[in-house]
């Protein structure tokens, strides 16, 4: 009978973790904790940290200049982070890091749209208005015509093109 109960119950697989692997994990957590402490307040506010983690970050900012105290604090902070699900924090931190690149891509798309509007005129305006009926047709046409006249003049100023870009930036803001 003793053999029977062992066959019926599923055996749990025991995973052994080496001491050096734990040390590597803690070192990664210390680096992550250091990265959190070095973030600005506005970026920190965007992260989903619990109260204990926020307090650890604030204390780390206060003792940042004291080497030994800061090192010990990072060890403490990494213990707080140990065995916690940090995927949300990592995801939010990655979004913060990618924000400048995404912002640049957004503005490049707006510049391409502006150039297309100036080059193609009413056709491009009509296509854009079909996709985005909230745009002001009259204002857009006026700005595009000014930009086209400016390009054809002897001394183009680029100001009308800048006005189109400014209008597009207002209508399609970067989040």
In a domain, 51, yes or no: yes
Domain end position, chosen among 31, 51, 84: 84
* pLDDT at 142 (0 to 100): 92
Which residues lie below 8 Å from residue 113, measured CB to CB, with a gap of 6+?
128, 168
In a domain, 8, yes or no: no
* pLDDT at 81 (0 to 100): 86
Query: Into how many domains does the chain fold?
Result: 2
Residue 165 shares a structural domain with residue 122: yes
Residue 99 shares a structural domain with residue 68: no
Residue 148 shares a structural domain with residue 108: yes
Residue 21 belongs to domain spanning: 14-84
In a domain, 46, yes or no: yes
Burial class for 57, CB neighbours closer than 10 Å (0-12, 13-18, 19+): buried
Residue pair 118/150 in contact (Cβ under 8 Å)? The answer is no
Domain end position, chosen among 25, 60, 84: 84
* pLDDT at 31 (0 to 100): 92
Domain end position, chosen among 36, 62, 84: 84
Residue pair 156/150 in contact (Cβ under 8 Å)? The answer is yes
Residue 146 shares a structural domain with residue 166: yes
In a domain, 1, yes or no: no
Query: Is the predicted pLDDT of residue 6 greater than 60, yes or no?
Result: no
Residue 149 shares a structural domain with residue 106: yes
Residue 100 shares a structural domain with residue 163: yes
CATH code for the domain of 143: 1.10.60.30
Residue 70 shares a structural domain with residue 113: no
What tokens were used for 83?
A: 């065995």
Cα dihedral sign, 6-12-18-22: negative
| pTM to 2 decimal places | 0.53
pLDDT in tens, 132-173: 888 888 999 999 999 888 888 878 788 888 998 898 888 888
In a domain, 162, yes or no: yes
Residue 35 shares a structural domain with residue 98: no
pLDDT in tens, 17-70: 788 888 898 898 899 899 999 988 888 888 898 898 889 999 999 998 888 999
């Amino acid at each position: 009978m003793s053999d029977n109960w062992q066959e019926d119950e599923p055996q749990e697989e025991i995973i052994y973790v080496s001491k050096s692997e734990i040390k590597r994990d803690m070192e990664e957590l210390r680096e992550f904790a250091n990265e959190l402490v070095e973030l600005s307040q506005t970026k920190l506010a965007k992260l989903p940290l619990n109260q204990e983690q926020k307090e650890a970050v604030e204390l780390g900012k206060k003792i940042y200049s004291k080497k030994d105290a800061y090192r010990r604090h990072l060890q403490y902070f990494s213990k707080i982070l140990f065995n916690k699900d940090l995927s949300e924090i990592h995801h939010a931190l990655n979004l913060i890091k990618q924000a400048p690149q995404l912002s640049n891509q957004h503005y490049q798309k707006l510049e391409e749209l502006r150039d297309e509007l100036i080059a193609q005129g009413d056709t491009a305006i009509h296509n854009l208005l079909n996709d985005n009926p909230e745009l002001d047709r009259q204002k857009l046409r006026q700005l595009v015509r000014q930009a086209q006249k400016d390009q054809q003049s002897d001394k183009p100023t680029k100001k009308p093109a800048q006005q189109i870009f400014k209008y597009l930036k207002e209508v399609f803001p970067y989040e």
